[in-house]
Amino acid sequence: MLFRCFCSFLLSLIVFAPPMVRAQLAPESPLHTASQQELDIVKVLLKQEAAWNHGDIDSFAAGYKNSPNIIFLTHDVSRGYAGMVDEYKRDYPTKASMGTLTYSDIEVHTLDENYAVVIGKYHLDRSKKDGGSAEGLFSLVFEKTDQGWKIILDHTT
């Protein structure tokens, strides 16, 4: 009986000790010094947020690559810069309908020197008569272009 208890204890030590040690060695959220690429990408998002909150769709859209090949995934798949701008102007005809946009929980994941993926949350605050508040998640693929970092794929829920 004593031998069985000892074996059970030893087995539980083998199974549970390594994960406990790893958890102690690797903190949940280590500090991270952002690279210049990451900072440049976040600046694009901050400019978009400011443009949106000033009611300026054209400046907001400047964060996207002006190309017929960019892709938008929402409840449907859309392609192209010109169509995206037209759709934003149709869906948000006034500054009140645009509300106040806030991005949060932004994570930039660089893939290489020319591409990065960004995930985060958005919150759109506006009155009920102007469409009500909305919030969700987004994932973006950025490409480094001659004009700086630009969004080439936008998946927003």
pLDDT digit string, tens, across residues 76-125:
899 999 999 999 999 999 999 999 999 999 999 999 999 999 999 999 99
The C-alpha atoms of residue 151 and residue 144 are separated, in whole angstroms, by: 9
Q: State which amino acid sits at residue 20.
A: M
Domain-embedded: residue 129? yes
Is 118 exposed, middle or buried (CB count within 10 Å of its CB: 0-12, 13-18, 19+)? buried
Domain-embedded: residue 61? yes
SS (H, E, C) 31-66: CCCCCHHHHHHHHHHHHHHHHHHCCCHHHHHCCECC
CATH of the domain at 148: 3.10.450.50
Domain-embedded: residue 82? yes
Domain-embedded: residue 10? no
- Split into its structural domains, the chain has a count of 1
Domain-embedded: residue 145? yes
* Domain extent for 122: 36-156
Q: Indicate yes or no: pTM above 0.85.
A: no
Instruction: State the chain's mean pLDDT as an integer.
Output: 86
Domain-embedded: residue 27? no
Domain-embedded: residue 87? yes
**Residue 23: pLDDT band by 50, 70, 90 thresholds?**
very low
Domain-embedded: residue 5? no
